[in-house]
Structure 1
Amino acid sequence: MPKSAPSHSHRLRSGRISETGRTYLLTSTLYQRQPLFSELTLGRLVVAELRAVHEQGWAISLAWVVMPDHLHWLVELQERSLDELMRRIKSNSARLINRHLGRAGQVWQTGYHDRALRKDENLLLAARYIVANPLRAGLVERIGDYPLWDAVWV
């Protein structure tokens, strides 16, 4: 009998499909859940990468929040695959973060989670869920008090 893949295997989602024009909810976690983005400057390096791929037409950012140890991103895929998009975000931000910290090494966990949203799903509800993460985590009492989020509806 063949062995099943471990539950946290990076190969678990190797069969994912990327569809141009489809909206995805993406989540990526920092290596060993280190809360690097508690330092605002490091979180802003990720924000700059999110904005760069948006401006360069790789994806349309609908909403995102950079939490202390992970990223949630609601995005409409454009010119590239999910893997290319996430590889760019993670590699560029990791390089900048390591440079800022004067170190080398892994910044992000291997892989990421994606969920394709159906056409009939309410994108505004998904965006509200994303930007309310700091509230649910007890980091702030009002969404506007958290500095590392954005949504096209605001």
Structure 2
Amino acid sequence: MKGRNGMRFHGRDLRKGRINLPGQTYVLTCVTLNRTAAFAAWPSASLLAREIYQIGQSDAIQPLAWVVMPDHLHWLVQLKAGSLNQLMQRLKSRSAIALNRLHGTRGAVWQKGYHDRAVRNEEDLRNVARYIVANPLRAGLVKRIGDYPFWDATWL
């Protein structure tokens, strides 16, 4: 993988300096293996949306916003308990098992690792959520966010 500065890095580099703070809000991003459009079709995307919803019912997080894109996921969460690693491992594992079951396949669905960014206190969470759910607009998948079914936000 290449970072923004063009330098090559590995998934393990994403873990450097990662801190899990209860009460902290994070933007999480994970990408499908080889950027395959694994969630381009309705059944696959709705399957991932169900997993996000179910995990959001736990006491570990407060889900604030998410969007399922064909080849990646953005998720805004407030961490209540546990770690980001546990959260992402649970989401990736459950969704990969369900997706493989749906398609009668086996194997990895997600790239290793994920990107996380702690939301600064001065940032407006609603604006961060709007930015996340507007991904389908910026990607040219729809002309209006209301036309894209695979997102949710607490405030919208």
Partner of 2:63: 61
Counterparts of 2:46 and 2:74, CA distance in 1: 14
Counterparts of 2:60 and 2:50, CA distance in 1: 14
| Matched residue type, 1:95 | I
Q: How does 1:1-154 map to 2 (within 5 A)?
A: 7-15=8-16, 16-154=18-156
- Structure 1: runs of 5 or more not aligned: 1-5
Q: TM-score, normalised by structure 1?
A: 0.93
| Matched residue type, 1:130 | I
Counterparts of 1:149 and 1:18, CA distance in 2: 25
Counterparts of 1:8 and 1:107, CA distance in 2: 21
- Structure 2: runs of 5 or more not aligned: 1-6
| Matched residue type, 1:7 | R
Aligned residues: 149
| Matched residue type, 1:8 | F
* Identity rate, percent: 51
Q: TM-score, normalised by structure 2?
A: 0.92
Residue 10 of structure 1 deviates from its aligned partner by: 1.4
Counterparts of 1:90 and 1:58, CA distance in 2: 16
Residue 14 of structure 1 deviates from its aligned partner by: 2.4
Partner of 1:3: none
C-alpha deviations, 1:89-147, integer Å up to 9, x for none?
A: 00000000001010101100000000001111111110011010000000000000001
